[in-house]
Amino acid sequence: MIQTLAPDLRCICAPNPSPMTEKGTNTYLLGRTDIALIDPGPKDTKHLEAILTALSPGQRISHILVTHSHHDHSGLVPELAQATGAPVYGFGPSHAGRSALMDSLAQDNTLAGGEGIDPDFAPDVILPDLAQIAGTGWNLTAHWTPGHMANHLSFEWHEGRALFTGDIVMGWASSLISPPDGDVGQFFTSLDRLESVNADILFAGHGAPIHAPRERIEWLRDHRTERLRAAQAALTRDPQSLGALIPQLYADVPQKMWPAAARNLLATLIELENRGVCQSDPAPGLNAHFRLP
């Protein structure tokens, strides 16, 4: 189903609903003739057909823009690029943008596979922070907004006073932050960046448009700050595993979601260690123990 959100802006929701994607991944088509497609979505033949049949006579997909390379956003890239001939734009491959700490943690094989990383993603055109992308009737600025994933971009649409926020700000839930690709410190910095743009509306990778951007960003900041506070309060001088901390901190979350919660908690504890109020043994990881320093 194609939904018109604004003049020159349409959305097709991919058929991949799940507890992590809500109704599915939003694919945005921006423009009248030269179409900027934002987030192809998962590898799915029906979704590819829906995108191609959405094009009217005289329209072509001229740019394929990817907010980040989780499979539910970038999985369809090869097929869409082949079908349209359009170049693919992104911040870089899946490891691009990681901090030195997260790069070192990536050597821990137990951390792999947290949230469907696309290891083959390789954009044709690298977009550095604040890069400009333009087509007939539209102009975008790329903002590097890591935190949910290190190579995450958001796109400022100048004509619509809007931001396409991928998964850094979603319309239905807070973002999963899963090390080594997710980073709580980067997440806070990205929220500040998005807030400074002062957009009128946010178009997220999942969920409905966000018509009160500042309030939503403030809620996300407060939510993550409360998670930090609660995790610090749960720490003692005696080392505790993630398995021991999860029931204390995520008692309100269904147990089937605890594996995802463990990765969120690990990201929280890494940030607390960066701030000097937590100590891990050995290095931070899913099998580490954590205590007050």
Q: What is the pLDDT of residue 257?
A: 85
Name 200's Cβ contacts closer than 8 Å, sequence gap at least 6: 160, 161, 162, 213
Q: What is the pLDDT of residue 113?
A: 54
Q: How far apart are CA 71 and CA 69, in angstroms?
A: 6
Q: What is the pLDDT of residue 36?
A: 98
Q: What is the mean pLDDT of the chain?
A: 94
Q: What phi and psi values does residue 179 have, to the nearest 5 degrees?
A: -60, 150
Using one digit for the tens of pLDDT, what is the confidence trace for 9-62? 999 999 999 888 999 999 999 999 999 999 999 999 999 999 999 999 999 999
Q: How far apart are CA 85 and CA 277, in angstroms?
A: 51
Q: Would you call 105 helix, strand, or coil by DSSP?
A: helix
Q: How far apart are CA 138 and CA 65, in angstroms?
A: 14
Say if CB 204 and CB 170 are below 8 A apart. Answer: yes
Q: How far apart are CA 93 and CA 75, in angstroms?
A: 13
For the segment 105-119, the average pLDDT, to the nearest whole number, is 76
Q: Cα torsion at 117, 122, 123, 127 (round to 10°)?
A: 70
Q: What is the pLDDT of residue 110?
A: 67
- Exposed/middle/buried for residue 271 (C-beta within 10 Å: 0-12, 13-18, 19+): buried
Q: What is the pLDDT of residue 115?
A: 62
Q: What is the pLDDT of residue 243?
A: 93
For the segment 66-70, the average pLDDT, to the nearest whole number, is 97
Cis peptide before 259 (omega within 30 of 0): no
DSSP characters over 205-257? SSSS-BS-HHHHHHHHHHHHHHHHHHHHHH--SS-EEHHHHHHHH-TTS-GGG
Using one digit for the tens of pLDDT, what is the confidence trace for 205-262? 999 999 999 999 999 999 999 999 999 999 999 999 999 999 999 998 888 888 888 9
Please name the residue that has the structure tokens 């599915």.
24
Q: How far is CA 41 from the centre of its chain?
A: 13
Tell me the CA end-to-end span of the chain in Å, nearest whole number: 54
Q: Looking at the predicted structure, is the pLDDT value of residue 135 above 80?
A: yes
Residue 288 CB coordination number (10 Å): 20
Q: What is the pLDDT of residue 103?
A: 87
Say if CB 203 and CB 5 are below 8 A apart. Answer: yes
Q: How far is CA 287 from the centre of its chain?
A: 25
pTM: 0.95
Confidence of residue 122 (pLDDT cuts 50, 70, 90): very high
Q: What is the pLDDT of residue 283?
A: 84
Q: What is the pLDDT of residue 108?
A: 75
